[in-house]
Structure 1
Amino acid sequence: MIINKMKIIIQLWFQLLLWVSIVAAIAYFAICLFLFVQQPRFIFFPSSVIEKTPEFFNIPYEEVWLPVPVDSGKVERMHGWWLKSNQPDAKVLLYLHGNGINIGANLAHANRFHQLGFSVLLIDYRGYGRSEGDFPNEMRVYQDAFTAWNYLVKQQQIPPSQIVIYGHSLGGAIGIDLALKHPEAAGLIVESSFTSIRDLISYRNLFQIFPVDLILNQRFESIQKVPHLKVPVLFIHGTVDSTVPSFMSQKLYAAAPEPKTLILVPGAEHNNTAVVANMEYLQWIESFVHQIYARILFNTRQ
């Protein structure tokens, strides 16, 4: 009698364990599916609220609306600001911001470039700020950067050799992709950016119980792209960056071909390299621009 009861209890325990295992497996699969589908929401953090416009810095500007065709056959409009320099034959900077907020949060930094004499185009990827469209993803932001480039070249009729691409953080990865597609650009500035999303996940020890390599579809694999760059590139990174470690810029620099420059800013975090470096930051940008245009002039004379 006791033995039969023990057998029944053991069978019930096995059944319970089996059901728990099945439920756990279903939950695990569901979480994997959720991470696969909702992945962009762990990467992009857009805001539709623009707190500052160029008027805050007394910068004359034009509102820019760029049409982006989508698979449905419709057209989504991307919003931006064109900060035209009052200097004749000014160089142009295409400003690609990071994964958070919108162009309004990037005006102070864009103003630094404008004060250096650049005409600056700031764009909000679709889903950010006033730009139309669904939630952003990797392919969409690449397309948005490509659209902004075409606006400068085709509508503003700016020679590609007059355009410097600038990208901060995630914008650096977007800038690397754009520069790879347009080797005729004057140069590329990559600030506080990363080697890949996979490397960031590993560095932060995130999602390690899941098959990250199978789930990951937003990769931004800059480390695979920089060896093929054909433009001069300047890497800038703060040494105490707690968002993206500075060794990632060092890896990007090591993988990139010449001409290239790496500047590590002591004591600077993810968003304040220009503030910490102060006037030196502007000198680095001016020096880089001087080098790339001296190179263009030299090649033109050959």
Structure 2
Amino acid sequence: MLRSSITGMSLILKLSLLFGGLLSTVYLAICGVLYLRQTRMIFFPSPYVEVTPAGLGLDYEELWLPVAADTVNLTSSSSPSSSPSPSLQHLHGWWIPAIAPETGVLLYLHGNGFNIGANLSHAARFHQLGFSVLLMDYRGYGRSEGEFPHEAQVYEDAETMWHYLVETRQISPDRIIVYGHSLGGAIAIDLAARHPQLAGLIVDGSFTSMRHMVALSPMLRFFPIDWLLTQQFNSLEKIRMLQIPILFIHGTADAKVPASMSQTLHEAAPQSQLYLVPDAGHNDVAERAGTTYLETVQQFAQQAIRSDTGIGHRTGR
């Protein structure tokens, strides 16, 4: 009887250890996936550019900007080299010149999904306001070359776009407004932190940090995210350093990125405005707001860029 009980307890212990070991293995495996494959959970590039500015009746110049793996190459070319260096890749995009008179220049940084083709209609709204627009894909998106994107790489790509405007096209930084949607907003904030001489920043439907976004997922709370997360996109930390005009835009019904994150960024920014669009989601803010969206952006641009002198105008909240 006693021996039978001991045998039964031993079996239960073995099964418990086996089950515990299995759970530990699964847990560690998930941790490994989260660590090694997290870029695949953040970036969703598409190689298919379905529309060009010509499809919207816009004049444009097609661009291929070279970028090195480790350092930014500041020159540009009209097409990729026929025999490119293995260490050189090219960003693809469009320069859409304004119909005179020009309001300013807008650098458009799109979000984590699709490519420039899916963002062209929205970019055309800024062109409608008198901006010359530079719209380009990060490496791994659309027709841009390169491997799958990651945080440091998209920052380098934005830097390449900036240098094209300032050095190749000789545009004064205080004539440039940087616009970023969603993840592009985080990239825009990083670029502004490195180039505070730009005229202004428009951040549309973006977040405070990737860590805060992860915290929104109930399942991920069981994992050591602070150890696993390598793609930080910590906008809240960077926004406090900026002393330029900033316009935060967010839809109140955004189910992907809560509008409270734009509110937090706005409160942390010493010079910013917050424009909340009632009932708008993550990708339909401009459609929901209609002409009010254009009027808000236009008013902000006029404050940020003094058209009579071309000098960036610093304003309070």
Is 1:172 the counterpart of 2:172 in the alignment? Answer: no
Is 1:56 the counterpart of 2:70 in the alignment? Answer: no
| Native 8 Å contact 1:180 1:230 kept in 2 | no
Summarize the Cα distance change of 1:89–1:188 in structure 2 as closer, same or farther, 3 Å threshold. Answer: same
The number of residues matched between the two structures is: 298
**Alignment partner, residue 242 of structure 1:** 255
Q: Aligned partners of 1:63 and 1:31: how far apart in 2? A: 43
SS class of match (1:171): helix
**Cα offset for 1:299?**
6.7
**Cα offset for 1:62?**
1.1
**Cα offset for 1:20?**
1.9
**Alignment partner, residue 140 of structure 1:** 153
Is 1:282 the counterpart of 2:281 in the alignment? Answer: no
**Alignment partner, residue 266 of structure 1:** 278
| Native 8 Å contact 1:47 1:100 kept in 2 | yes
| Native 8 Å contact 2:175 2:312 kept in 1 | no
SS class of match (2:292): helix
Q: Which residues of 2 match residues 122-271 of structure 1 at below 5 A?
A: 122-258=135-271, 260-271=272-283
| Native 8 Å contact 2:178 2:200 kept in 1 | yes
SS class of match (2:215): helix
Q: Aligned partners of 1:111 and 1:97: how far apart in 2? A: 13
Which region of structure 1 is more displaced relative to structure 2, 260-269 or 19-28?
19-28
**Cα offset for 1:218?**
0.9
Correspondence for 2:129 among 88, 94, 116? 116
**Alignment partner, residue 23 of structure 1:** 22
- Which consecutive residues of structure 1, in runs of 5 or more, have no partner in the other structure? none
Q: Normalising by structure 2, what TM-score? A: 0.90
Q: Which amino acid aligns with 1:130?
A: R
| Native 8 Å contact 2:179 2:201 kept in 1 | yes
Q: Aligned partners of 1:273 and 1:125: how far apart in 2? A: 23
**Cα offset for 1:203?**
2.4
Q: Aligned partners of 1:263 and 1:88: how far apart in 2? A: 27
**Alignment partner, residue 91 of structure 1:** 104
Paired-residue identity, %: 50
Q: Aligned partners of 2:104 and 2:304: how far apart in 1? A: 12
| Native 8 Å contact 2:94 2:135 kept in 1 | yes
| Native 8 Å contact 1:163 1:187 kept in 2 | yes
| Native 8 Å contact 2:177 2:201 kept in 1 | yes
| Native 8 Å contact 1:50 1:104 kept in 2 | yes
**Alignment partner, residue 292 of structure 1:** 304
Summarize the Cα distance change of 1:26–1:192 in structure 2 as closer, same or farther, 3 Å threshold. Answer: same
Q: Which amino acid aligns with 1:8?
A: T
Q: Aligned partners of 2:312 and 2:47: how far apart in 1? A: 45
**Cα offset for 1:44?**
0.7
- Which consecutive residues of structure 2, in runs of 5 or more, have no partner in the other structure? 71-84
Q: Which amino acid aligns with 1:199?
A: H
| Native 8 Å contact 1:124 1:131 kept in 2 | yes
Which region of structure 1 is more displaced relative to structure 2, 64-73 or 196-205?
64-73
Q: Higher helix fraction: Structure 1 or Structure 2?
A: 1
**Alignment partner, residue 82 of structure 2:** none
Q: Aligned partners of 1:208 and 1:81: how far apart in 2? A: 41
Q: Aligned partners of 2:165 and 2:304: how far apart in 1? A: 19
| Native 8 Å contact 2:199 2:312 kept in 1 | no
Deviations 1:116-168 (A, max 9, x none): 11110011111110011111111111111011101111111111111100000
**Cα offset for 1:55?**
1.3
SS class of match (1:204): coil
Which region of structure 1 is more displaced relative to structure 2, 23-32 or 109-118?
23-32
SS class of match (2:221): coil
Q: Which amino acid aligns with 1:167?
A: G
Q: Aligned partners of 2:310 and 2:234: how far apart in 1? A: 29
